[in-house]
Amino acid sequence: MRVPCISLFAAGMLAGFASAQSCATLTVSNCAGPNPALTTVTFAVHGDANAPAGLAIGPTAGSTSIALGPLGTLELGLDRPFALLFLGLTDASGDATLDIRVPTHLPGMDLNAQGFTVTFTAPPNITLTFCTSNVVAFHVGS
């Protein structure tokens, strides 16, 4: 029996380098895994094309600034603590995805995720520009 995916989509959070705006989108889907003991959580980021993409996951929405000196600042819509994951490079359309298999028997946990992409400005003034997504709430476990 096939179980339909439940897509969770939340409102955008303002963030980014220099201009405080959300320019990426994140969707999170929970689907039945390859066997009944697993759930597959899919994170899909759409942002800048051909750019490194990342994902921040934590229990609490809020605000965190990560200053990188003269390179720029990453503004997240999550409070600490959170984990940062590298998704890889986005494709020519600006898309990157990550599937994580979670055991269904874990204690239930409500989490939040935010995606981002990073672009580089060439020398002589090297900077990083972050394109951040909306914050999406999701649930794992039973």
CATH number of the domain located at residue range(s) 6-140 in this protein: 2.60.40
**pLDDT tens digits, 59-99:** 999 999 999 999 999 999 999 999 999 999 999 999 999 99
- pLDDT for 22 equals 76
pLDDT mean by block of 10 residues, the chain; 142 residues:
33 31 89 91 97 97 95 95 95 97 94 96 90 96 86
Q: What is the pTM of this model?
A: 0.82
- The span from the CA of 58 to the CA of 16, in Å, is 19
* Annotated domain spans of the chain: 6-140
Collapsed DSSP state (helix, strand, coil) of residue 40: strand
